[in-house]
Amino acid sequence: MKRLLIPVLLLLALPVRAEDVVSGLGQDVIEITSNYTGSNIVVFGTVEQSGALAGRDIVIVVRGPGSDMIVRRRDRIAGVWINRAAAKLEGMPAYYYLASTQPLAKVATPDVMARYGIGMEGLEPTAISSHHDTRPFRDAALRQLARRGLYREAPGSIDFLSENLFRTHVPVPADVPRGQYNVEVYLFRDGDVVSAQSTPLFIDQTGIERRMFNFAHNNPFGYGLATVFMALLMGWLSSLLFRQQA
């Protein structure tokens, strides 16, 4: 009996592939042009070999390029609010967006979330330097970035087009920093990650803006001369125009 059971069990186990997530982006490059006012990118995906719908969750995280930030605190001195204390934060993502099928607390425990770096609460700079207690500065950075629309959590914002096909819209506001972004899609089963996929997304200035920015930084003297010349020319032209009218 035992000799028969083992091959049968193996046979049963073989075709059972793991539950898996496959995802893609509507576009993998966003170009900031002169009339850019912000846009959306579509992140879509499908769950393959899906198990039961209950206990299955999707979390999508979009991370901007790591950047350095300075947080300053104002104190009142002689009636005037002046920047006094400061902290330098390194390696914070310049942009952070999270979409999930339900609030994070219901998806998994904070430990699991921390392990994968999921959730704004768990975001920490790689280094923080200050003469003061750093915690309030880190909290203030999160608060300010959230206010600017650069950090956001949107639980319940993933739409299911069918049982296994999902989609979400990630807002890309007008003032997002340039650089390489990462779109991470996590599949949770009963509170733990069973599959994940990461796709890069590039955001860059293009066209005349990019050339202007490069001009200003690569040849600042020429750029300054061009600006001055433009101003002088416009002033002169307007005086010509005005003299003809008068």
Partner 1 sequence: MEIYLPIAEMSVHWLTIIGLGALVGFVSGMFGVGGGFLLTPLLVFYGIPSTVAVATTLSHVTASSVSGALAQWRKNAVDFRMAGVMLAGGLFGTMAGVWLFALLERQGQMDTIVSLTYVVMLGAIGGLMLQESLATMRARAAGVALSVKPVNHPWIQKLPFRMRFRQSRLYISVIPPAGIGFLVGVLSAIMGIGGGFIVVPAMIYLLRMPTSMVMGTSLVQIIGLAVVTTLLQATSNYAVDMVLAMLLVTGGVVGAQFGVSAGAKLHGEQLRLGLAVVVLAVCLKLLWGLVVHPGDVYSLTTGAL
User: Does residue 225 interact with partner 1 by CB under 8 A?
Assistant: yes
Binds partner 1 by CB under 8 A, chosen from 69, 98, 187, 193: 69
CB count within 10 Å of CB 139 equals: 11
User: CB neighbours of 93 closer than 8 A, spacing ≥ 6?
Assistant: 63, 64, 65, 66, 67, 123
* Kind of pairing between the strands at 192-205 and 29-32: parallel
- Structural Rg of the chain based on CA atoms: 26
d(CA 120, CA 43): 20
Nearer to partner 1, 56 or 138 (CB): 138
Joined together, the tokens standing for residue 203 give 């955001």
Binds partner 1 by CB under 8 A, chosen from 19, 20, 86, 197: 86
CB of 193 to partner 1, least distance (A): 30
Map tokens 């020319």 to a residue: 233
Binds partner 1 by CB under 8 A, chosen from 47, 58, 59, 94: 94
Nearer to partner 1, 10 or 80 (CB): 80
Contact positions with partner 1 (CB under 8 A) in 3-42: 32-37
Size of the site for partner 1 (CB under 8 A): 58
- Please name which of 155, 199, 197 lies closest in space to residue 181, comparing C-alpha atoms: 199
What are the helix and strand counts (H, E) for the chain? 6, 13
Nearer to partner 1, 160 or 236 (CB): 236
Joined together, the tokens standing for residue 151 give 């950090």
User: Does residue 203 interact with partner 1 by CB under 8 A?
Assistant: no
User: CB neighbours of 129 closer than 8 A, spacing ≥ 6?
Assistant: 87, 88
The one segment of 47-55, 100-108, 152-160, 224-232 that binds partner 1 by CB under 8 A: 224-232
Contact positions with partner 1 (CB under 8 A) in 129-158: 136-137, 140-141, 143-145
Packing angle between helix 207-218 and helix 220-245, nearest 10 degrees? 110
User: Does residue 223 interact with partner 1 by CB under 8 A?
Assistant: yes
User: Does residue 177 interact with partner 1 by CB under 8 A?
Assistant: yes
Binding site for partner 1 (CB under 8 A): 32-37, 67-75, 79-83, 86, 88, 94, 136-137, 140-141, 143-145, 174-175, 177, 205, 209-210, 212-213, 216-217, 220-221, 223-228, 230-232, 234-239, 242
